[in-house]
Amino acid sequence: MGIQTNFRQVTKYNRIKAELAEYNKQNKELAQYLDVHETTVSDWCTNKNQPSIQDLFLIAKFLRIDVRQLLVSTKWEPELMVVHEPAPKIKKATKKKAAKKK
């Protein structure tokens, strides 16, 4: 019988952990600056939860970086890009008038 694991793939949306490391800052320092609990910052760093847009701007201010550096890039390879074509026009159904009985 095999061992069953329930590891969940985490999608990375932010780079807060990487930027904190780049600027030699600790989660605790950021938590104190933002006046939030350290576990909140930890959840952001592991992408378990995401900060608000306002908090992202405050984190950027704390690190003195462009806020865009805190987000994972969305630059896609051209062959992987999805081109959204306009939806086809749908004609409205017309009601046929019933013939009047005499």
pLDDT tens figures, 1-47: 455 555 567 788 999 999 999 999 999 999 999 999 999 999 999 99
Burial of 71 per CB tally in 10 Å (0-12, 13-18, 19+)? middle
Cα separation of 38 and 29, whole Å?
9
Instruction: Collapse the DSSP code of 70 into the 3-class scheme (helix H, G, I; strand E, B; otherwise coil) and give the result.
Output: helix
DSSP tag of 71 = B
Instruction: Flag whether the pTM goes above 0.85.
Output: no
Tens of pLDDT, residues 58-97: 999 999 999 999 999 887 666 655 656 666 666 666 666 6
Candidates 3.30.70.580, 1.10.260.40, 1.10.3720.10, 3.80.30.20; correct CATH number of 16-67? 1.10.260.40
DSSP tag of 67 = G
